Amino acid sequence: VAKRSYGQYCALARTLDLIGERWTLLVIRELAAGPKRYSDLLDALPGVGTSLLADRLKHLEAKEIIRRRTLPPPAASTVYELFGAGAELARALLPLTVWGVRHALGPRRRSEAFRAEWPLLAIGALIDKSDTVGVSAVYEFRIDDSVGHLRVENGAVSAHAGEAPDGADVVVVSDVETFVGIPAGRTDPATAMADGRLVLEGEPDAIEVFLRLMPIDLEARPTDVPAQPATRRRAARGPAR
């Protein structure tokens, strides 16, 4: 079962040898949101086929990218989680994700699944952590038929599926195309808010903080990226700090 390799001593080629096979990076994405059980992963990745998922997990575990762990009683279920190099890998995927928002993500196709966690993961990773000191807030996003929330706690940002259990400081309601159109440069937030395709609910003060944190401008963010001749957008009318 000699693994297929590109046979090149090149960092990118070796990386693809390691994690370039089908489904592998989506497993990483899923685990980036937190530990998950085998069946959670099966649910989250329709079409994967159970034995292929098992193979991938075993491989990633052998390479110390993920770790298999049995939760302490009473939960006692086994979960997979990112580990060591895996956490760094998740971060390395961010620019690729940003690229995808702008170049691979057109309108949503009817057959495509969507979960609010996906954009929230990226948004959470893109938030400038130095902006979050002293901020403690929960933001809920209702996008199309999916709900997720971001939890900002004093320097840490985490993305979660579902409603915020203890209520949210700001609730964002939108349809996917409008929502992903913002970072993609297709949606002008101010316009979208004006015609109701994008709604922010919450106290004015909370909304102001929220708007300050959101990484609306992807252009000058990840590692570098001298922007293309992109059309200049205006952020939603939020007072400067």
How far is Cα of residue 55 from the mean position of the Cα atoms in its chain? 24
| Partner whose binding site includes residue 1, from a copy of itself, DNA, none (CB under 5 to 8 Å by kind) | DNA
How far is Cα of residue 109 from the mean position of the Cα atoms in its chain? 19
**Ranges within 75-104 binding DNA (CB under 7 A):** 77-79
- Measure the CA–CA gap between 142 and 195, rounded to whole angstroms: 17
130 binds DNA per the rule CB under 7 A: no
Q: Which amino acid is at 185?
A: G
15 binds DNA per the rule CB under 7 A: no
228 binds DNA per the rule CB under 7 A: no
Q: Contact 69/85 with Cβ under 8 angstroms?
A: no
Per the structure block, which two tokens stand in for 218? Answer: 């992807």
Footprint of a copy of itself on this chain (CB under 8 A)? 6-20, 22, 25-26, 29, 45-47, 65, 84-85, 88-89, 91-105, 108-109, 111-115, 118-119, 122, 176, 180, 222-225, 228
Cβ 52 to DNA shortest distance, Å: 5
Best CA proximity match to 139, nearest among 38, 225, 215: 215
Options 44-52, 116-124, 205-213, 229-237: segment touching DNA (CB under 7 A)? 44-52
Residue 241 CB-half CA count within 13 A: 7
From 8, 10, 12, 58, residue interacting with DNA (rule: CB under 7 A): 58
Length of the chain: 241
52 binds DNA per the rule CB under 7 A: yes
